[in-house]
Structure 1
Amino acid sequence: MSVTFHADDYGITEQQAADILKLSQVCGGQGALSSVSIFANSPAFEAAAEMARPYVESGKLAMALHLNLVEGRPCAPVAEVPLLVNQRGTFANDFVGLLKLSMGAQRWAFRQQLQRECVAQIQRYLAAFPQMKRTMRVDSHQHVHAVPAVFDALSQAVAELGVTVTYLRCPIEPLAPHRAAGSNMPPVNLAKDALITWLWRKNRGKMPAACEVPLFCGVVLSGAMDTVDWPLLDAFESLAADRGKNVQVLFHPVSVPIEQCLDPENAPFAAACASEARNREAERLRYLAETR
C-alpha cells in the first residue's frame, strides 16, 4: 500500500502553481507532494497547466481536475448558468447552498445548469490535457461532488463527453486512524465529515466500475493539516492495507494574496485562500519528505 500526498487548488495564480510544484521531489523540488488537482476556471489555468505538463506527461506527477462550482467565474457562459452565479457573474453558492438548490423548486433547471458547467470545465481541462479523456481523475472544491445532484451532473457530463474516469475522490474519512494517533479533531470538521458521509450513501452505487478509490485523509484536520505526522499516516496505511487500498492525504499548500484569489469579494473563500495556514501546510510537506 502507498501514501499519495496531494494538493488541491493548484493554479490559482502562476506563482502559486510554481510554488506548489517546488513541494514535489518528482518535479525537482523539495517535498512529499506527488499529485495535484487544477482549477479549470482559474485565469492562470493555461500557465499552470503548461508548468505541470512535463511532469504529468512523464508520469511523475498525477493530475486531476478540481471541479469548482463555488468560487470564481464559471467556464460556461454566465447566461447559461444563472442559478449558479450572482450579479457579478461569479459563483454564488457554497456547499450548503448547492445542497439547498438541489432540493428546491428549481432543482431540475439547477441540475441542467450544473451539467452544463461540468461539461465546460471538463472541456477546458481536456484542451490542455487531451490524453486524460481515457484516464480522467476528478475531485472537487469543497468536496461538492458529495452532493448527489452534483455527482449526477458530473456523471452525465462525463458520459456526454465520452470520458473514462479512472479516479474519483470518495471524500469519506475514517476516524479510527485519528483516534489511534490521538489527533485533535475539531468538532466543526467532524460535523463536516458526518454530513459528507451521510450524503455519499446515495452516490456509492454510481461510482465508475474501474475507478480507483483510495482511503482519504483531509477533512477531519482541515485547516490543521500542518499537524499531520507519521504516526497518523502509519495508522492510515495500516487500515488501508486491511482494506486493500492506497491512501490519499489532502493538503492545501501555499497562501495567495487575498486580492489574487479567484474571487476576492467572496470573503470566506478568499480568507481561506490567503490563510497563513496554507504556508504551514507547505512546510509540512517538506518535513514529511525529510523525515521518511
Structure 2
Amino acid sequence: MDPIVVVQDLKKHYGDVRAVNGISFSVEPGVIFAMLGPNGAGKSTTVEILEGLRERDSGFVSVLGLDPGRQQDVLSERIGIQLQSSALFPKLSAREHLQMFGSFYRNAHDVDELLDMVGLTERQKAYSENLSGGQQQRLAVALALLSDPELVFLDEPTTGLDPQARRRLWEVVTQMKERGTTVFLTTHFMDEAETLADHLVIVDNGKIIAADTPGGLIRSNFGGATLTFNASAELAGLDLERLTGVEEVISADGEYELSIADATTALPEVFALASRTGAALDEVHVHRPNLEDVFLKLTGRRIRD
C-alpha cells in the first residue's frame, strides 16, 4: 500500500531562521505517526505545510496524493485538523459546535457518535467556556473528525493538560486508529510518543535526527537496561561481566553501573553472587531506557532544556 504522506527535502525559512531544513519522511496508512521534538524544532511549521495552511520554500510534499500547496480546497475535504481550544466559541455548547461545523460538510459524521467517542455525552450541553481544558481538547478532536477524514492532524494535543486528561485523550487517539483513521501527531512529550506511535521521527533544529518505531530507536541506541547499585568491599575485584546477561561494568568506590541485556536474567545472577561472597547491596535500581534517553544521547540535552 502506498504511503499516505510523502515528504522529500522539505524546507521553510523565516529570514535567517531555518524552521524546516531539508526533512524527508513518509507515513503509511492506518498508523499513528508521531513527530517528536522540543518547542521550536519545526513540528508545527511542517504540519501547517502538510495541511496546506503555509507555503513551503522548496521540496516535494504529497498528502493523500495531492499537493497541499496547490490543492488545499480538495485536500480539506479529506483531512481533519485539530483546532486550538482558543478557537472555540465560549457561548456555544459542545453539541452546538459539532452541529454548526458539521453543517459545512456534505456527509458529516454523526454528532452523537462523536460525543460518545470523545467522552462528552454528559457534557454536551455545557458551554465550551465551562468545559475543562481536557474536555475542550477532546471537543477540538471531535471537530477534526466531523468530515470522517482519512487523515487527522493533531498538533501538540495534550499540552497544558493534567495527567488524567492526557491519558483520556490518548484513549481517543487510539480509538481513531482502531476506526482506520491515520493520525499524524506532533508532541514534545516522550511518554506520549512512546505510548501511541507506531512510527516516529525525532526533529531538532528543523532536521530529522532519528526515525524508527519507538522500540526500534531505543534498542538501536541502548540495547537493554542499566542496573545500578552500591556494594560492600566483598564484591570488589570480581569479574561481573562473566555473569549471564551482563554486558558491561563500570565501578568506582563501591558504586556499580552494569549494562544488562535483560533484567530478569541479570538481577538473579548479581544477587546470587552477592549471597555467595557475603556482599551487601543497597540502592539497587534498574533503569530501562526510553525516548528521553535517546534524545539526550543524540543531542546532548534533554528535550525540555
TM-score normalised over the length of structure 2: 0.30
Which structure is higher in RCO with an 8 Å CA cutoff and minimum separation 6? Answer: 1
TM-score by length of 1: 0.31
Tell me which structure has the larger Cα radius of gyration: 2
Greater strand percent: which structure? 2
Of Structure 1 and Structure 2, which has the larger fraction of its residues in helix? Answer: 1
